[in-house]
């Protein structure tokens, strides 16, 4: 369990964060810039001091102002991958990697040198100086260096933010491999929901220095607090399912989600694989009767659970075979269809507006 309840006052900003997350887990901290994400990580790492509160990693306090506990950064065994790689310029890649490893003798082993080098594909970089690496390579070395310090918790502060889109795609698979193969507990800070979707099992949402909601990613995606932070562009139910059939020619797959089956864009996953995806609310069309002769491949019968209206229109929550789906429609459309809770409705969305991500980790709490 990662148990955080801290207050930190800065000029013109106060962080008051409280949440408990399962441990080990891949925890994402999501929020707009300036919501206090980096401050939260610095407090967990010990680089900043809390004015009040406690931080417990797996039951052990690293900060507890009431008990007068403040474990120094260097003895917390909490790894940190910063936004910029912060590699030591006077040391080779190999020496950078060994830096933390040599200082972690006697700590419970998380990962060995050869294992990390292979996992992150660093074989050819070992003899080089950090200045001769590309941005993506640097971030991979920084990741390896943090891992080799044998941390019990790994903090990642938007490690992809300094990279362009291509480089991000180059590093993301390594982060997924880290989560799946080393199963190291991590806290991943991001304002890119795509990254959260691919990496996190547990989601903490920060808004203006406060944790407004936290929980399993699929549950949090349905909550208004998350939608307020994510905005209409990123509002949409996160679904998790199992691949039942693969259509390699079309780059799509059938996914069993709850009692229903969806067809989604997905490459490189075999039947039986667990997949996660987000169906964006603005991509979902609602119909009050079955439609025929349309290109849309997903037309799922469901029941309206709730309708809420705001300045962006109406947000309709639908129960589709035990699975919630969100749809964003205009107020005018809502009036015309006269949608209300309990009505039958069909949720329509295109295959190409979805993108599944293989996600092998079991949901928090589920037996592995």
189 or 246: CB nearest other proteins: 189
Overall size of the chain counted in residues: 368
Phi, psi (5° rounding) for residue 92? -70, 170
Candidates 364, 367, 361, 321; CA nearest to 344 is 321
When binding is defined by CB under 8 A, the residue of 12, 59, 68, 89 that contacts other proteins is: 89
Is residue 236 within the footprint of other proteins (CB under 8 A)?
no
Candidates 217, 272, 218, 269; CA nearest to 247 is 269
79 or 356: CB nearest other proteins: 79
Q: Is 240 helix (H, G, I), strand (E, B) or coil?
A: strand
Is residue 141 within the footprint of other proteins (CB under 8 A)?
no
90 or 109: CB nearest other proteins: 90
Tell me the CA distances in angstroms from 295 to 151, 299, 315, one per residue in order: 50, 10, 24
Is residue 94 within the footprint of other proteins (CB under 8 A)?
no
To other proteins, the closest distance from the beta carbon of 322 in angstroms equals 44
Cβ count within 10 A of residue 367: 4
When binding is defined by CB under 8 A, the residue of 19, 23, 30, 80 that contacts other proteins is: 80
How much is the CA Rg of the chain, to the nearest whole Å? 22
Window 22-61: contact mask with other proteins (x via CB under 8 A): -----------------------x-x--------------
Is residue 75 within the footprint of other proteins (CB under 8 A)?
yes
128 or 350: CB nearest other proteins: 128
43 or 78: CB nearest other proteins: 78
Is residue 79 within the footprint of other proteins (CB under 8 A)?
yes
Is residue 78 within the footprint of other proteins (CB under 8 A)?
yes
Cβ count within 10 A of residue 344: 12
To other proteins, the closest distance from the beta carbon of 339 in angstroms equals 52
Percentages (nearest 5) of helix, strand, coil residues in the chain:
30, 35, 35
Strand partners, 60: 57
To other proteins, the closest distance from the beta carbon of 158 in angstroms equals 15
When binding is defined by CB under 8 A, the residue of 86, 223, 256, 297 that contacts other proteins is: 86
Dihedral sign for Cα atoms in the order 293, 298, 303, 305: negative
> How far is the C-alpha of 263 from the C-alpha of 183, rounded, in Å?
30
Is residue 88 within the footprint of other proteins (CB under 8 A)?
yes
Binding site for other proteins (CB under 8 A): 45, 47, 72-80, 82, 84, 86, 88-90, 99-100, 103-104, 128-132, 145-146, 149
């Amino acid at each position: 369990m990662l148990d955080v309840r801290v207050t930190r006052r800065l000029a013109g900003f106060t962080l008051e964060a409280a949440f408990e997350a399962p441990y080990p887990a891949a925890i994402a901290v999501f929020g707009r810039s300036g919501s206090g994400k980096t401050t939260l990580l610095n407090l967990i790492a010990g680089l900043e001091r809390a004015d009040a509160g406690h931080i417990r990693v797996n039951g052990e306090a690293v900060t507890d102002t009431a008990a007068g506990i403040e474990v120094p950064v260097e003895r917390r065994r909490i790894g940190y991958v910063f936004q910029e790689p912060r590699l030591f310029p006077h040391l080779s890649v190999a020496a950078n990697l060994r830096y933390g490893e040599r200082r972690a003798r006697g700590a419970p082993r998380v990962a060995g040198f050869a294992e990390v080098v292979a996992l992150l594909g660093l074989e050819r970089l070992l003899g080089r100086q950090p200045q001769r690496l590309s941005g993506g390579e640097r971030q991979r070395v920084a990741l390896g260096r943090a891992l080799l310090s044998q941390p019990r918790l790994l903090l990642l502060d938007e490690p992809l933010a300094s990279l362009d889109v291509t480089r991000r795609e180059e590093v993301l698979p390594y982060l997924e491999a880290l989560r799946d193969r080393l199963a190291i507990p991590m806290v991943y800070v991001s304002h890119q929901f795509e990254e959260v979707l691919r990496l996190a099992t547990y989601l903490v949402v920060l808004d203006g220095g406060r944790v407004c909601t936290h929980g399993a990613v699929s549950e949090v995606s349905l909550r208004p607090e998350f939608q307020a932070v994510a905005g209409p562009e990123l509002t949409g139910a996160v679904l998790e399912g199992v691949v039942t059939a693969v259509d390699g020619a079309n780059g799509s797959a059938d996914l069993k989600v709850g009692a229903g089956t969806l067809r989604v864009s997905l490459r490189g996953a075999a039947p039986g694989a667990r997949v996660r995806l987000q169906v964006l609310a603005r991509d979902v069309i609602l119909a009050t009767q079955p439609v025929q002769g349309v290109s849309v491949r997903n037309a799922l019968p469901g029941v309206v659970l709730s309708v809420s209206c705001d300045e962006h229109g109406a947000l309709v929550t639908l129960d589709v075979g035990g699975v919630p789906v969100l749809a964003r429609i205009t107020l005018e459309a809502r009036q015309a269809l006269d949608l209300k809770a309990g009505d039958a409705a069909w949720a329509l969305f295109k295959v190409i507006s979805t993108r599944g991500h293989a996600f092998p980790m079991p949901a928090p709490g589920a037996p592995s």
